[in-house]
Structure 1
Amino acid sequence: MEKLKIGLTGSQETSIGTLVARATDARSAKSILHDTNAIRIMDQIDHDFDKFHINEAHATLYSTRTICLDRWVTEFLLRNPQATVVHLACGLDDRLRRLQADLTKVRWIDLDLPDVVELRAKLIPSPKGDYQLIAADATDRAWLEEIPTDRPTVIVCQGLTMFLEEESGKRMIRQIVDHFKSGQLIIDFISTISLYTQGQVATLVATGASFKWGVDDPKSIETLHPRLKIVDCLGPSELGDNEHLPLRTRLLISTYPDVPWLRYLSSYVRFNF
């Protein structure tokens, strides 16, 4: 089979970097996500994967963050078996298959920018059942009008907010909460200090992408809408599965809670609305 050449650049190309991280984790004897489908997807692509400089430690860090959000989505579906899941900035992440969501009960929507969706459609077959793949900018309001509000809804948004302008990101969150009647927003942020150290992030260097929005106090997001109530907020040291990390990395992140500006160097947050 002829492999696909990738024309994505900037923040859209970072979806290739996270694909490499999932595939690297899947190949590890200590895999966290066990996302073997990421290997299959990666094998269909002709791209310079080495430029992302993703080793097993990087893949493990990424995977501990991803499985935290996966677990929260799973918990929501256990409480609400007939729910809607909206996966914003889905990239090439086949989260639906990883979570084995039952599409006879669950309505699942994957959404990303048109160029990413076009690539995704070539690499990941659409599943049977109540599934929709939407090409849109997550910060636009128009896509929301396509999504019914008749069910509890969980929105999972990983690796997006940091690439948005602050006002666009805040508007996106307000629009989501305004549209849906009830549910959860599962989302991650970086801190403002990460904006100043982003030159050390290999994926950004490789793609030319840049971080734009940092959130130092995730609880402040509650002020964006009166219905937003924080349920969980975890920093890098609080995610669990850290035993899979190299000792040096474990020791480093274990110090984060004691340093105010490091505790939420990145944050993983669950809101009710």
Structure 2
Amino acid sequence: MKNEELVMKNNIGETLLIPLYMKSRESKLNDPIICDTTACDLVDKLDYDFSKFDQAIASSVGIAIRSRYFDDKVKDFIENTENPVIVLLGAGLDSRYQRIGTIARQAVFYQLDIPEIIQVRAQLLPPHENETLIPSSMFETQWMDDLVKENPEGTFLFIVEGVLMYFERDTVKKWFQDMAERFPQSELLFDVVNVWLMKHSHRHDSLKLMNARFIYGSDDDGEAASWASNLEHVSTKLYGDFPEWNRVGWLKVLLMKLIPTMKYSGRMLHYRIK
């Protein structure tokens, strides 16, 4: 029975429901890209019409690929880093902590989002002992300074998933500069869309069903590295790099192979703060 009514006043905040539902949807397939039982439980609890996203196949496959890729990067970071601190920005109702299993206990976790969403998260996903919820905009600097003070020996990995494309370039640029100033020897994982997809987000298979739109797009994977001298682009992954992307259908796969603008429309980037 649906027993939790979810009302979001913020258009961007409401977009957290897209990845939540897609991870739930993928988890129920016979051969799932990702297994997220927590997402399944949350979708069952929430009083929201998720069925409107049922035809958004590309979003379903893409979000599952992105989440699994970032999950694997987080696990690898924890396994190979002393005093790992994992910070998820724009955390929404993501259950990465639960998905990666017992290895999560070997790190310190922070989940940050705007107060409205953190309030919902606290009710639906109460934090574990090594997990702290931060009610703040990711673009504020107070939480950054607090984390530096709280973790003087920590090595940080920041994950910004499905977030940056909703904000102005100048805002994104300032965030990278603030991070670069405060967190040397840290890692950043984030995704971007290109300018073409930004301009056509009103046709995006799931976003077109909501009021939010993309307003930041970049065609240059090294753009952020030009914003601070100690920012370094490490690697880029395309959705088409993963064999599971074929599940979106042969026509979309073919178009992405033939048309560079579509091929590079969404990318997952790994950066380092030197």
* Length-normalised TM-score, structure 2: 0.91
8 Å CA contact 1:86, 1:111 repeated in 2? yes
Choose the corresponding residue for 1:233, options 225, 236, 255: 236
Describe the superposition over 1:209-236 as per-residue Cα deviations: whole angstroms up to 9, x where unpaired: 0111101111121111111111111223
- 1:246 — aligned with what? 249
Cα drift, residue 103 of structure 1:
5.1
Amino acid at match of 2:257: S
- 1:221 — aligned with what? 224
- 1:155 — aligned with what? 158
- 2:14 — aligned with what? 13
Cα drift, residue 187 of structure 1:
0.6
SS in 1 for 2:15: helix
8 Å CA contact 1:156, 1:185 repeated in 2? yes
Aligned equivalents of 1:74, 1:255: Cα separation in 2: 34
- 2:116 — aligned with what? 115
- Say which is worse superposed, 141-150 or 247-256, in terms of deviation: 247-256
8 Å CA contact 2:190, 2:269 repeated in 1? yes
Choose the corresponding residue for 2:204, options 198, 201, 205: 201
Amino acid at match of 2:109: W
Cα drift, residue 52 of structure 1:
3.0
8 Å CA contact 2:58, 2:205 repeated in 1? no
Structure 2, unpaired ranges of 5+: none
- Mapping 1:48-63, distance limit 5 Å: 48-63=49-64
2:184 aligned with 1:175? no
Describe the superposition over 1:43-69 as per-residue Cα deviations: whole angstroms up to 9, x where unpaired: 110011123345555312221122122
Aligned equivalents of 2:271, 2:127: Cα separation in 1: 29
Cα drift, residue 81 of structure 1:
4.8
Aligned equivalents of 1:179, 1:240: Cα separation in 2: 38
Aligned equivalents of 2:272, 2:255: Cα separation in 1: 32
- 2:99 — aligned with what? 98
- Say which is worse superposed, 58-67 or 36-45, in terms of deviation: 58-67
Aligned equivalents of 1:194, 1:104: Cα separation in 2: 38
Amino acid at match of 1:49: F
- 1:146 — aligned with what? 146
Amino acid at match of 2:99: R
- Mapping 1:79-94, distance limit 5 Å: 79-94=80-95
Describe the superposition over 1:190-247 as per-residue Cα deviations: whole angstroms up to 9, x where unpaired: 1111122111124333320011110111112111111111111122322443344433
- Say which is worse superposed, 227-236 or 207-216, in terms of deviation: 227-236
Cα drift, residue 263 of structure 1:
3.8
Aligned equivalents of 1:202, 1:141: Cα separation in 2: 34
Aligned equivalents of 2:95, 2:83: Cα separation in 1: 20
Aligned equivalents of 1:109, 1:226: Cα separation in 2: 27
Root-mean-square deviation (CA, aligned residues, Å) is 1.9
Describe the superposition over 1:240-268 as per-residue Cα deviations: whole angstroms up to 9, x where unpaired: 43344433333333335xx2x33421111
Describe the superposition over 1:157-211 as per-residue Cα deviations: whole angstroms up to 9, x where unpaired: 1011000111111111111121113121001101111122111124333320011
Aligned equivalents of 1:80, 1:53: Cα separation in 2: 39
Q: How many residues align?
A: 269
Structure 1, unpaired ranges of 5+: none
- 1:270 — aligned with what? 270
